[in-house]
Amino acid sequence: MEKVIFTLEETNETIEFFILEETQLNGVKYLLVSENETGDSEAYILKEIQEQDGEVTYEMVDDDNEVQALGKIFAELLDEDTNVEF
């Protein structure tokens, strides 16, 4: 399974996430990620940000409406064996 490394701005701490699924909405790419590859786990949605220098970064989606809408999309994309909480 593919991984992405996320760096917290406040602490500079890095977290390695497994990419469970990805989708695109209104031209923006979103990743559904989790710290665990299998089993029950809390999931996060990351939004891809294209920097002017061409570098790609990600930020956590924290807007409740955006999380709800994307959560519905990701729920449809995931198979029955995956149990994640948003």
**pLDDT tens string 24-49:** 999 999 999 999 888 778 899 999 99
Say if residue 86's pLDDT is above 80.
Answer: no
Exposure string for 54-74, b = 16+ CB within 10 A, e = fewer: eeeebeebeeeeeeeebbebb
Distance CA 28, CA 7 (A): 20
Report the candidate in 77, 27, 76, 23 with the shortest Cα–Cα distance to residue 45: 23
Q: Report the predicted TM-score, pTM, of the whole model to 2 decimal places.
A: 0.83
Phi first, then psi, for residue 75 (nearest 5°) are: -60, -40
Which pLDDT score is estimated for 83? 57
